[in-house]
Structure 1
Amino acid sequence: MDRSVAQGVLLSFLAYFAYALSDAAVKLLEGGIHPFQSAFFGGVFGLAAIPFVLRPGERLFHAFATTNRKLWLLRALMAVTGALGSITAFTHLSMAEAFCLLFLLPAFVTLLSLVFLKESIGWRRWAAVVVGFAGVLVVLRPGFRELNIGHLGAVVGGFSGAVTIVLMRALGGRERRISLYGAGLAGLIVVAGVLMLPEFRWPNAVQWLWLAGYGLLAAVANVLIIAASAKAPASLVAPPQYSQMIWAIILGYLVFHDRLDWPMAVGTALIVASGLLTLLREKKRVPVAAAAPAIHPQ
C-alpha cells in the first residue's frame, strides 16, 4: 500500500470516528429536542461542508441542478427519513444496538439492487444477506424482549441509506457531487424545518452544544470522506465504517454506561461479517464521498 492510499484509509477511519462522535452528540440530547428539530439543525450545520464539496468551476446553484429531478427529490426525502430514523434509534437504543441495526444497510443495498437495478446477485452475496438478518434476529430476540420505536428507527435509517446508494448507482456519473450533497441538505432543512414548527422549542445552551456537535461533526466526517476518496479506492474507504461499532461500544460504556451482552456481541459479529462480505463481493461501487450528511452508515 503506497503512502497516498495509506493516508486515504487513515482519513476514512478518522471520518467514521467523527460520525460516531456526531451520533453520541445527538444521543446526549436524550429526547430534549424533537427529532425533526435535530434533523433540521443537522442540515443547517451541514452547510459548513459545502466549500469543501464544491469542485473547481462549480457554483452554489449547482446544488439544485440535476439530471433527474425525481431521483434528486427522492434523494432529499431519503436524507430526511434516514436522519429521523437514526436520531430515533440513538435516542431510544444503546449506541451499539443502534449501529448494529443500521449496519443492515449493505443487505438492503443487495436486495434493492436486485429489484430495481436488475443486478445479478451471486450465492455469496445472498449468503451475506442471510447472515446479516440472522444477526438481527440474535440481537432483537423477538418474543424474548420488548421492542420499541428505536428499533424501527434504526431499520428505517439503514433502509434509507441503502436507497440513497441505489439512487447514486442509478444516476451513475451523471450527477455532480454537490448536487447529491445539496439534495440531502435541502431535504433536511426544508422538510424537517416545516415538520418541526408545531413543536419547536428554542434550545438551551447545552442543547445548542450537542446540536452543533451533531451537525458539525457530521460535516467534518463528510469532508474527511471526500479527502479519503481522493487518495484511496472506495473498496478501501468503505470497510473502515465498521470501526464505528468499536467507538459505539467505547462511547456507550464511558458516556452512557451501556453494557454489551453476549447475544448482542454475537449478533453484531454476524452483521459486521455480513456487511464486510458484501463489500468484498460487490463489483459496482459508488463513491462514498457522495453520502448524505447525518445518514450513516451513510
Structure 2
Amino acid sequence: MIHVPRQNPALAALLIVAASVFLAGTTLLAKALGTDALGPALHPMQVSHGRFLFAFLLVASVVLTTRPRLSRVHWRLHLGRTSCGWVGITLIFAAVAYIPVTDATAISFLNPVFGMLLAIPLLGERVGPVRWLAACIALVGALVLLRPAPSSFQPAALLALAAAVVIGLELIFIKALSGRERPIQVLLVNNCIGLTIASVAVLPVWESPNSAQWAALASLGGLMACAQFCFVNGMARADASFVAPFSYATLVFVALIDFAVFGVIPDAVSLTGAAIIVAGALLLALREARLARA
C-alpha cells in the first residue's frame, strides 16, 4: 500500500516554487553547455547524459542512506515514461542553445495540452468544449512564439514544440503510474533507465568536457533531481488546481536568470506568447481539477 502524504497547501506551494527555481537553473545551465559560454559547445545528447548521470547518483545516494521500502516495479510503464522524458529533455536542451530560454520554456508548457489530446486516442478520454478552448488558446500562444513570418520564423522553436508533444505523451505514462509506487522509487527507476538510454545514445557524439563543463553537468543533474523531488512531493500535498499556478513561476525565474547571466531581455512577442500559453494551460488545469472532483 502506498503512503499518501498529509495535505498541506502552504508546503505544496513552497515545494512547487522551489522546483521552479531548480528547473530554471537547469535550463540556463543547459544553455551555457550548449553554447560556447563554458568552452566548445556540447551536443544536446551529452548534456542530457550529464543530467541523468548526476541525478541518478544523487537519488541513489539518498536511497542507500534512507533505505526506503521498495515495491514491485512496473517496468513497462517506467520504460515508456523515461524514454519520452529523455527525448523531451534532449529536445529542450537543443532548443535553448538557439532560441531565448523564455520562449523554449513557455512552449514546453504546452505538454499538458498535448497530453490531453493524446489521451483521446490512447486512453479513450472524452474532451468537452472548455478543454478544447483551453487547448486552442495555448496553441495560439505557441504560434505567436514560433513567429511564423518569413523574416522572424525560428526553426529551433520547433524543437521545443516537439519536446512538448513528447512530454505530453510522457504524462500518459505518469498518469498510469500514479499511486502505484512511492515517489522516491519512481525517481530512482526513472533516472536509472534514463541514464542507461542516455549512455548508449551519447557514444557517437561524446567529447571530453573541460572542468567547468563537468561542474555545470554535475550541477545540472543535481538541480534536476532536486526539482523532481520537490515537484513530486508538492503535487502529493495539494490539489492540482492549487499548485498549477505556482509551477509557471519557472518562466519568471528563467527570465530573471537569463537576464542576469546572458543579458537577454524578453521582447513583446515573447511575453505575449508566454502569457497566452500560460492562460490556456491554467484553464486546462482548472478544468481537469474540476473533472477530478466530479
1:270 match: 276
For these two proteins, the number of residue pairs brought into alignment is: 278
1:201 partnered with 2:225: no
CA distance in 2, matches of 1:7, 1:175: 22
AA in 2 matched with 1:209: A
User: Within 1, Cα distance between the matches of 2:278 and 2:96?
Assistant: 19
The answer to whether the 8 Å contact 1:76/1:184 transfers is yes
Asked if the contact 1:17/1:247 (under 8 Å) is kept, the reply is yes
Output the aligned Cα RMSD: 2.5
Q: TM-score if structure 2 supplies the norm length? A: 0.85
Which of residues 69, 79, 95 in structure 2 aligns to 1:73? 79
Distance 2:201 2:98 in 1: 20
Q: Identify the residue that residue 295 of structure 1 maps to in structure 2.
A: none
Q: Which amino acid aligns with 2:153?
A: E
Per the TM alignment, residue 178 of structure 1 is displaced from its structure 2 partner at its CA by 4.6
The aligned runs of 1:164-175 (5 Å cut-off) are: 164-175=170-181
Q: Is the 2:59–2:187 contact (alpha carbons within 8 Å) kept by the matching residues of 1?
A: no
What is the CA-CA distance between 1:264 and the residue it aligns to? 1.8
Decide whether aligned partners of structure 1 residues 53 and 195 sit closer, same or farther in structure 2, where only a CA change above 3 A counts. Answer: same
Shift of 1:281: 0.4
Shift of 1:234: 3.3
Cα separation, 1, equivalents of 2:232 and 2:205: 35
Paired letter, 2:73 = T
| Distance apart, 1:50 and its partner CA | 4.3
Q: Which runs of 5+ in 2 are unaligned?
A: 1-5, 36-40
Aligned to 1:58: 69
Q: How much has 1:246 moved relative to structure 2?
A: 0.9
- Cα 1:52/1:237, change in 2 over 3 Å: farther
Q: So what's the TM-score if we normalise by structure 1?
A: 0.84
Which is worse superposed, 217-226 or 121-130? 217-226
1:184-216 Cα offsets, whole Å, 9 max, x none, are: 323431222112112212211110121112110
Alignment of 1:214-253 (within 5 A): 214-253=220-259
Taking the aligned partners of 2:157 and 2:190, their CA distance within structure 1 comes to: 23
Distance 2:236 2:139 in 1: 33
Are the aligned partners of 1:79 and 1:187 in contact in 2 as well (CA < 8 Å)?
no
Mark the runs of 5 or more structure 1 residues left unpaired by the alignment: 286-298
Matched, 1:112 2:130: no
Displacement of 1:177:
3.6
Q: Which AA in structure 2 matches 1:94?
A: P
Indicate the larger mover: 218-227 or 99-108: 218-227
Residue 100 (structure 1) aligns with: 106
Q: Measure, in 2, the Cα distance between the counterparts of 1:136 and 1:228.
A: 27
Alignment of 1:1-298 (within 5 A): 4-31=8-35, 32-47=41-56, 48-50=58-60, 57-59=68-70, 65-67=72-74, 69-144=75-150, 145-148=152-155, 150-178=156-184, 180-283=186-289
SS state at 2:127 partner: coil
Whole-Å Cα distance in 1 between the matches of residues 29 and 170 of structure 2? 24
CA distance in 1: counterparts of 2:196 and 2:273, whole angstroms: 37
